[in-house]
Structure 1
């Protein structure tokens, strides 16, 4: 509730013509972390506020014109509940994808220790560059990348022979839904 009140106050007094929404939504996430309510910005409340933008503006305006703080807080908390539900669903979906890909990798005879190490890094770097030049043709990293590519876990993005880039595309698609 405090964050709902702080956000409404900020949106009311912020002196600039541009940036109110972005800065105000960033303030929500900063306060969630600062007050120890979330260890990381795992919840995307901005999506809810953008999706219900007309209602969002109406509720903020009603605070100024009618002193209607209660309906603002109700609206904000509905957004928090929906954003939390969506975050939980996304986390479960992403964890399921990684788990299924890990099982495929463990079942592959072509995967070695370098492949497992590279796979475990993919959630932190879902896009990466392959090695370049003939001197790396048989390196363990290239073997690892090739194994992940053959399993359909990573996709080569450039179509080139050198300076190739790869993507853990199914993971990225889940993040950008």
Structure 2
């Protein structure tokens, strides 16, 4: 940690910490960074505001594009899984999007630990979206519940899951001594709890006349700097960004994925967080988040165009057809993998009718069988999966 730069930070201060490192069986004395509460206004220049305005306009176009779909909720389903893949990859957990879709139909012992962990994000995100739709505000308690869901069944699961941390953590240490840490978040005492409660109050205060993207950028920096949990902070912090966009009304459906851009620009993203602490200059960080939102909003627009074209192509192949085959084809943009059991459940028909409808889509080349030797075989639409990826 660059102690010299952080010691001069205008947005926080270094505090002394001490403890015992069981790895090296030795005590340590070092420092941790405690961020100041977020300000009511951020000092930003005209160039930054221009980037925010452009990103906001692109996001509005993406929201409008999603509304063109017959059922916009269909796009939210794969979007959540795309976000799960990229936000997990940022933390070193990798899984293919197709494997995450397939996991919906598999038993726990049939999926890898990586896919299971990515699936945990999907579960947590779906729960979070439902809470927001029910009118619940973002809260520490909500994040504790979501963090528990993120860690369920992983190597980080245990007594600490679902609770704000009670011990010191170090970022970027690996197998080295704590003094080599890239960053040291606040001590796990009243300074962490006070900082987190102040963050909760700030993020829920709608009286601040700040554009949503600026609020998202500031809140994300503060959350990651506080690092309130032993594990899952990055994924939770990026999920909160999506929740803020929904609460603000900028997005009616969670269809915009910020993590894919951040994954592709990982170093800039991680350095940007640290640079705010070192310099107190919000401009580069807000511009980075604006760039991410702008780029991914354009991706949403392009993806909707592709999916609508595919849907129209399926309808052309099924011209004159009615019933379950057409309904399955129409919904492939949200359910690019399907089984006869799922189709039976979704459309209220018998298993045999669903199976016959899927067989017709296979004959037309719209679906292909993914799994062999299973009673409830999985079928996938390669064209939709390609558009999503």
Normalised by the size of structure 1, how large is the TM-score? 0.83
Matched residues in 1 for 2:269 and 2:339: separation? 42
Q: Which runs of 4 or more aligned residues in structure 1 lie more than 4 Å from their structure 2 counterparts after TM superposition?
A: none
Worse-superposed segment, 166-175 or 55-64: 166-175
Match for residue 305 of structure 2? 92
Shift of 1:6: 1.0
Shift of 1:85: 0.9
Shift of 1:77: 0.6
Distance 1:68 1:129, change over 3 A: same
Distance 1:121 1:157, change over 3 A: same
Matched residues in 1 for 2:279 and 2:327: separation? 59
User: Does the 8 Å contact 2:307/2:333 carry over to 1?
Assistant: no
Shift of 1:50: 1.7
Match for residue 120 of structure 1? 330
Q: Which has the higher contact order (CA 8 A, sep 6+)?
A: 2
Matched residues in 2 for 1:140 and 1:58: separation? 55
* Larger relative helix fraction: 1
Distance 1:50 1:157, change over 3 A: closer
Matched residues in 2 for 1:141 and 1:53: separation? 44
Matched residues in 2 for 1:28 and 1:99: separation? 33
Shift of 1:151: 0.8
Match for residue 319 of structure 2? 106
Normalised by the size of structure 2, how large is the TM-score? 0.40
Q: Show structure 1 runs of 5+ residues with no match.
A: none
Distance 1:4 1:161, change over 3 A: closer
Compute the RMSD of aligned alpha carbons.
2.3
Matched residues in 1 for 2:243 and 2:322: separation? 41
Distance 1:65 1:164, change over 3 A: closer
Is 1:59 the counterpart of 2:269? The answer is no
Matched residues in 1 for 2:376 and 2:269: separation? 47
User: Does the 8 Å contact 1:112/1:144 carry over to 2?
Assistant: no
Match for residue 232 of structure 2? 19
Matched residues in 2 for 1:93 and 1:15: separation? 40
Matched residues in 2 for 1:164 and 1:63: separation? 51
Is 1:165 the counterpart of 2:378? The answer is yes
Distance 1:15 1:161, change over 3 A: closer
Worse-superposed segment, 35-44 or 111-120: 111-120
Matched residues in 2 for 1:15 and 1:140: separation? 51
Q: Show structure 2 runs of 5+ residues with no match.
A: 1-213, 342-349
Shift of 1:74: 1.1
Match for residue 73 of structure 1? 286
